[in-house]
Amino acid sequence: MPPARPGDAAAPFPAHCPTRNDAKAMDAVDPLADARAAFALPPGAIYLDGNSLGALPRATPERVAALLREEWGRDLIAGWNKHGWMAMSARLGDKIARLIGAAPGTVVVGDSTSINLFKALAAALAAAPGRTTILSERGNFPTDLYMAEGLAALLDKGHRLKIVDTPAQIAGAIDADTAVVMLTHVDYKTGALHDMAATTARAHAAGARIVWDLAHSAGAVPLDLTAARADYAVGCGYKYLNGGPGAPAFLYVAERHHADFRQPLQGWLGHAQPFAFEPSYRPAPGIAAAIVGSPPVIAMAALEVGVDIFLRQDMGAVRAKSEALTEIFRTLVMSRGGAFGIECASPAAPEARGSQVSFRHPKAYEIVQALIARGVTGDFRAPDIMRFGFAPLYLRYVDAWDAAAHLIDTVESRAYEEPRYAVRQAVT
Ligand SMILES: *Cc1c(COP(=O)(O)O)cnc(C)c1O
């Protein structure tokens, strides 16, 4: 549904704020403006949920259709050799490695982020005999905490998940019993960014390793895993990387840990010689030991289109635009939002947050639904967070301006009080 675009005449913001024309002027000189054409967005939509499910790249349908028609349809099983399907996990991993500042041969694509976390945590624990603590924070994404709990219970060797209440408590909680620190680089609710290099150094100083979850970082912020000396990392293909619903995830293992990399999901494709069909497992050398079963070839073809778009961009420019987009949106909303009960839940400094801005409001769910009905899509995270992600490749400054105007209009008019907006859906 096309949103009613508030014009400058009805500008709902104080005089010191940027006007809609200012936002248009920023778009006119935006060095990333052309990237928007690579995406198929519904007309009129203001899509601020690319941090949950990225937009469809225009080239994806044809790439996937061609694979089905010309590779699978024509070549059937010969496709594995002829089209390099089996090598896709590593080949696409090498592309993602370039985006996250990792060396070639350190990243594979496949499985979900949750499964990859399990492998990384298991490898970290196996490498730290005598240490029993997995350290994380209460605000971490639930799947990360659940996977750690499940792994500790499965191992049954006295491992435990220790959770601190705030990010500031992490450094002080790393001790001689810490086997691995597990953190999400950009907080999924607030967008707060961890200092990857400093926290990694702190873990290493105590003899611990660290697993970084890059779900809200890959494709959103410049990353340099090598320089930060990260041990392991995982991330999503379907968020900022625009790989499509359920796109496979990635797993990074630093080269210096390949020799002691042991993970219990010993699938045949992580074997040194899968087609020798030996009765016992022997891990493949290098990152290939992180592979479990058959690669999701069709899904990886879709993900590759999204990743290729990023490889043509300068991540410094992406970050600069992301900071500017989130800042114009935050400034506009907070210029009037406080009077209607809106509190900013994200760090005020653009450099301290990822590519999102979140607000708290007791009626956050209803407000998000009312905005969606106007064509402005954000999402709700229980209990009271409205979350707005800014994918710099396909969003314009005028979208940020319009979204802020709609949000203010929604709370000012109390449009969110319509009963239909209180109906809860399965996916929020
Ligand atoms: C989205 C997200 C995940 C998703 O995990 P899947 O197993 O791919 O569904 C994991 N961690 C974080 C921090 C996330 O935001």
Catalytic residue, chosen from 20, 95, 119, 239, is 239
**Residue 261 catalytic?**
no
Catalytic residue, chosen from 111, 144, 187, 213, is 213
Please report the pLDDT score of residue 201 as a whole number: 98
Q: What is the pLDDT of residues 66-104, one digit of tens each?
A: 999 999 999 999 999 999 999 999 999 999 999 999 999
Catalytic residue, chosen from 141, 250, 261, 416, is 141
Q: Rounded CA gap, 306 and 60, in Å?
A: 8
Please report the pLDDT score of residue 10 as a whole number: 53
Q: Is the CB of 113 under 6 A from ligand 1?
A: yes
41 backbone dihedrals φ, ψ, rounded to 5°: -110, 145
Q: Of all protein residues, whose CA lies closest to atom 4 belonging to ligand 1?
A: 113
| DSSP at 101 | T
Please report the pLDDT score of residue 198 as a whole number: 98
Please report the pLDDT score of residue 100 as a whole number: 98
Please report the pLDDT score of residue 11 as a whole number: 67
Strand partners, 40: 56
Q: Is the CB of 249 under 6 A from ligand 1?
A: yes
Please report the pLDDT score of residue 4 as a whole number: 47
DSSP labels for 102-123? Answer: --TTSEEE-S-HHHHHHHHHHH
From the alpha carbon of 184, which atom of ligand 1 is closest?
A: 13
Please report the pLDDT score of residue 308 as a whole number: 98
Q: Rounded CA gap, 64 and 53, in Å?
A: 18
Q: Is the CB of 216 under 6 A from ligand 1?
A: yes
Half-sphere exposure of 356 (CA within 13 A, CB side): 33
Q: Is the CB of 141 under 6 A from ligand 1?
A: yes
Q: Which of 109, 111, 114, 116 has most ligand 1 atoms within 8 Å of CB, for mutation?
A: 114
From the alpha carbon of 249, which atom of ligand 1 is closest?
A: 8
**Residue 238 catalytic?**
yes
- Alpha-carbon distances, residue 420 vs 27, 367, 386, 417, 423 (angstroms): 35, 11, 18, 8, 6
Q: Which residues of the chain have pLDDT under 50?
A: 1-5, 7-9
